[in-house]
Amino acid sequence: MGCLCECDHTTRRAGSACSSGSSSDSDGQTDEGFTGDSQGFFRRSIQQKIQYRPCTKNQQCSILRINRNRCQYCRLKKCIAVGMSRDAVRFGRVPKREKARILAAMQQSSHSRSQEKAVAAELEDEQRLLQTVVRAHLDTCDFTRDKVAPVLARARETPNYTACPPTLACPLNPNPQPLTGQQELLQDFSKRFSPAIRGVVEFAKRIPGFNLLAQDDQVTLLKAGVFEVLLVRLACMFDGQTNSMICLNGQVLKRDSIHNSNARFLMDSMFDFAERVNSLRLSDAELGLFCSVVVIAADRPGLRNTDLVERMHNKLRSALQSVLAQNHPQHPDILRELLKKIPDLRTLNTLHSEKLLAFKMTEQQQQLQAQQQAQQQQQQQ
């Protein structure tokens, strides 16, 4: 059987917490530190959480067998001094495997507490938190107001209309040049979106506290939130005045140019979402803070440390609320209206994922059909 104290059980040392033997001091009195009675006293004190009366002799009492009950405060202090383990009292004598499991859990708990303290320190200064998140957004977003304004003006003055390939069913992937196959369309789609996605990932990594999260939790938050943040950033590219969308390549996609029913539903949903977000007339700083709230969400499936993510989310939401209250005093419900957009974002994310999955499945089916046709032709020959 194992023990959670750190004693040497092979060569018994003076002051061993597990020793039940006895020793004598120079004047022949039994030292309290070496008796089995001491261990019983220590165990009762810890398990019952007894608070003894403070010592009246400056905590300098000499604890011997004959006077051990005179000062319980110093008696408990000496038990701890000679190495008796609080953890051993708490768990008792346990098998080595169980001991290792308990110690690992304790170490993990200690690491979590250290992690929480580090994150709390990162988020403590709200003004610094605001500045860091806003700077991260401005540095990583290609769709800020000053960058988009000339593109919108040019699109309204001399629009260059294009059409979205119905097979992909994604209005954010205009493709003015004909491509030979769906696989090529998918590759083109990924190529167009890679810079924007990298920007969102970089933004998330610069949110105070994000890099202190466990690696698995970072990946979970990014996988769930990247496209949602991208939609928030792209909302300014939907022009309600012309009922069209300014594409990533600068071309203009008319809302009514999509005739495929599935693609049209996604397009209409995106337009409706963008219209509601744009109607709030948020600044780039406010959009950046909102994006941080979208990314740091404790209800994402698969998160391990939901409590820590929840604390981060609440700090970021509080910062967003402060900025909105300052900038929109005439609109006290603006935060509540903005937070209502998060379920819409998740619905759009799901719709988009379904369309991509359907597209990939169609590609696989076409490849399989092509292989079957080739085999049939070979058999006929």
Residue 20 has pLDDT above 50, yes or no: no
Residue 183 has pLDDT above 90, yes or no: no
Q: Write the CB contacts of 50 (distance below 8 Å, at least 6 apart in sequence).
A: 44
Alpha-carbon distance 4 to 62, whole Å? 28
Percent of the chain with pLDDT over 70: 65
Confidence of residue 159 (pLDDT cuts 50, 70, 90): confident
**Mean pLDDT across 161-183:** 51
Q: What is the predicted pLDDT for the residue at 199?
A: 92
Confidence of residue 10 (pLDDT cuts 50, 70, 90): very low
Alpha-carbon distance 95 to 54, whole Å? 37
Give the least confident one: 43-52, 109-118, 245-254. Answer: 109-118
Please give the full DSSP string across 248-288, using - where no structure is assigned: TTS-EEEGGG--SHHHHHHHHHHHHHHHHHHTT---HHHHH
Yes or no: say if 83 and 7 are a contact pair by the CB < 8 Å rule. yes
Fold equal for 1-94 and 126-380:
no
The arrangement of secondary structure in 126-380, i.e. its CATH architecture, is Orthogonal Bundle (1.10)
Please give the full DSSP string across 298-365, using - where no structure is assigned: TTSTT-S-HHHHHHHHHHHHHHHHHHHHHH-TT-TTHHHHHHTHHHHHHHHHHHHHHHHHHHHHHHHH
User: Which secondary-structure segment (H or E) carries 89?
Assistant: helix 86-91
Residue 258 has pLDDT above 80, yes or no: no
Fold of 1-94: Erythroid Transcription Factor GATA-1; Chain A (3.30.50)
Confidence of residue 337 (pLDDT cuts 50, 70, 90): very high
* Mean pLDDT of all residues belonging to the chain: 76
Q: What is the predicted pLDDT for the residue at 170?
A: 46
Q: What is the predicted pLDDT for the residue at 8?
A: 38
Alpha-carbon distance values, 65 to 18, 27, 32 (Å): 18, 12, 5
Residue 19 has pLDDT above 50, yes or no: no
**Mean pLDDT across 53-64:** 85
Percent of the chain with pLDDT over 90: 29
**What DSSP designation does 181 have?**
S
Yes or no: say if 305 and 217 are a contact pair by the CB < 8 Å rule. yes
Q: What is the predicted pLDDT for the residue at 90?
A: 60
Give the side-chain half-sphere CA count within 13 A for 19: 20
**Mean pLDDT across 136-148:** 90
Entry pTM = 0.63
343/40: higher pLDDT: 343
User: Which secondary-structure segment (H or E) carries 290?
Assistant: helix 284-295
Q: Where are the domains of the chain?
A: 1-94, 126-380
3-state DSSP of 2-56: ECCCCCCCCCCCCCCCCCCCCCECCCCCEEHHHCHHHHHHHHHHHHCCCCCCCCC
Chain CA centroid to CA 211, Å: 9
Residue 161 has pLDDT above 50, yes or no: yes
Alpha-carbon distance 58 to 161, whole Å? 88
Alpha-carbon distance values, 282 to 140, 150, 209, 321 (Å): 18, 18, 25, 13
**Mean pLDDT across 100-113:** 65
